[in-house]
Structures are given as structure tokens and as C-alpha cells.
Amino acid sequence: MSSSPRKPAASRAERDRRARPEGDLDRLLKNLGERIRSGRRARHLTLDAFAKLVGLSRRFMTELELGRANVSLQGLAKVARALDVTAAALVAPEHVAAAGRDELLRLVEMVPERALDDARVALEKLVAALPPPRRVALIGLRGAGKTTLGRAAAEHAGLRFVELDQMIEEQAGMPLSDLFTLHGETWYRQLEREALAKLAADARPLVVAAGGGIVMAADTFELLRRHFVTVWLKATPEDHWNRVVEQGDRRPMQNQPAAMARLREILSERAPLYGLAHHTLDTSTLGEGRSLQQLEALVADATGR
């Protein structure tokens, strides 16, 4: 009885080739997770805050940082925007990601010592020639002083002052209270992004006060940070509360016995996101006068006014 011929044993090279795709994917996911985790920690973000900024679940972000999750291209783009890097930089092999830096260092090492000063001056001129942002955006909860300080700083610099929520009301043709009642937060967020995109497309310098919850819309907040010099007007929960009440608005306390506790919770939840702003002014510590002085200086530096 004849037997079927045996297939020749796979060579070592063939076995390696068959195993490589899975191994390469594991290494890619591991490197991706490490870069994401390093980027998040460099920005002093908790995993919860980062997940909200990206718009993905905390559980998925945990798996992603551990190198266990295979993220979609859309999800990768969201992560890259939140870290202010390109998606390619997150997935590029180490030798590719570091190539630009290594080449720059190689060129620096080739510069003779007698020419280092000239090289530094040339690099400084190159950086200085980059087009600076010419618009300033103020973020923070209600009662932060965005309208009061923002309008005063804009007037001091001779700039236009815009409240983003006012633009949204004009665009919707109704007050925000009616907008939320009739259409909900989803439509508000859509109008918020559209209004911000219009301002971002306008090259004229200005100061804009953004809504307190803009940091919770990851794409819109990234658009804000990309096109504006952002300033977080920071304050204690007590100051937020008192300033709103002093404006004659007693809604925060009506029929809400735990309103202050909720305010503290919201501020604690959003603080890591507000902290992504380019600058922070602690208005509770500085007081109104010094806060305005420092804001005026930031506006002047950003807009050249």
C-alpha cells in the first residue's frame, strides 16, 4: 500500500515569515501604547481626563496604553489630536520617528565651535519667523471672569471681543436656554464648532470667550488650541459661585441643595482639560487687577498689540 508523499518541512525562514505578521503587530501595538502613555503623562493628564478628551472609553484607553487594543484609524486620529502630534508619529518605527531629531543633532555636531553662535542665531531667527497665533481664547467655568477680563483686555489692545455663546445664539436665532430645551446639547455642540471654525478662518486678531464646557468636546477644543492662544482663567469653586450670584443669577442654587458639591465635582473633572491651555491665570490668587494686567500682557504678546 502506497503512502502519500510527505510535504517537505518548512524552512526556518518560512516559519519566521509566517510568524512575523503577528509578532510585528504585537510590537506595533506595544510601541503605540507606550508612546500614548508617555504623551498623556507628559501633559499631566489622568486616564479619565484623557479618555474624555479623546472621546473614547476609559476601558478602551487602558487597553490601548497596555498594547492590547487594535485602534481604528479614526480613533488613532483622535488620540493624535489630543496629544498634539501626528498619527504617523505615534505608529512610526523608532528609527523613523527619531530620524528627524538625529539628523538635526548630526548637523549641530558638524558645526565648528567658532560658528555655534551664528548657528544658534540662525535657528532663533527661523523660529521667530514662524507665524505666531494672533488670537486669544479664554476658557473656564462660569464666573471665571472671561467676559469682564476679556472685554477689558481686548479694549486695552484695541481688539474685537467676541463671546462664542453669543455667536451661537445669533446663529440659532434663540437664547441658549431655549436652544438646549428644544434641541439639546448635541445641536449646541455642533453650532459651537461651526461658530469657532468661522473665527478660526478669520485672520484678524481678537479675544474670544469660550463656553465653559468647550473642553468636553474633544475635536472642538483641539480646534481652539490649534488656532488660538488659550488662557485658563482659574478660580476656586467659591469664587465661581459668588461671582455668578453677584451678577444677579441665582439659578445655580435654585432647587439644588447639593449645587456647591456638584460645582466642585465639575471643576475637578474639567481641571485637567482646562490645564491643557497654553497659559493659566489664577484669578482667585491674583485678584481682578493683577489678573487683568497679566492678561493684557498675554494678549499683547500673542497679537503684537
Residues 75-109: tens digit of each pLDDT: 888 888 888 777 777 876 655 445 556 677 777 77
Q: State residue 152's pLDDT score.
A: 96
Say which residue, 302 or 130, is predicted with more confidence. 302
**Residue 251 burial by CB count (10 A; 0-12/13-18/19+): exposed, middle or buried?**
exposed
Say which residue, 163 or 259, is predicted with more confidence. 163
Q: Given a cut of 70, is residue 269 above it in pLDDT?
A: yes
Residues 9-47: tens digit of each pLDDT: 555 545 544 444 445 677 788 888 888 887 787 777 788
Q: State residue 131's pLDDT score.
A: 56
CA–CA distance, 279 with 187 (Å, rounded to integer): 30
CA–CA distance, 171 with 176 (Å, rounded to integer): 11
Q: State residue 129's pLDDT score.
A: 64
CA–CA distance, 155 with 85 (Å, rounded to integer): 35
Average pLDDT of the residues in 277-284: 93
Q: Given a cut of 70, is residue 212 above it in pLDDT?
A: yes
Residues 231-249: tens digit of each pLDDT: 999 999 998 888 887 766 5
Q: Given a cut of 90, is residue 155 above it in pLDDT?
A: yes
For 71, 80, 195, 248, 297, the CA distances from 56, given in Å and listed in that order, are 10, 13, 25, 38, 37
Q: State residue 253's pLDDT score.
A: 53
Q: Please give the helix or strand (H or E) that residue 208 lies within, else none.
A: strand 206-209
Q: State residue 231's pLDDT score.
A: 95
CA–CA distance, 63 with 30 (Å, rounded to integer): 10
Averaged pLDDT score across all residues of the chain = 82
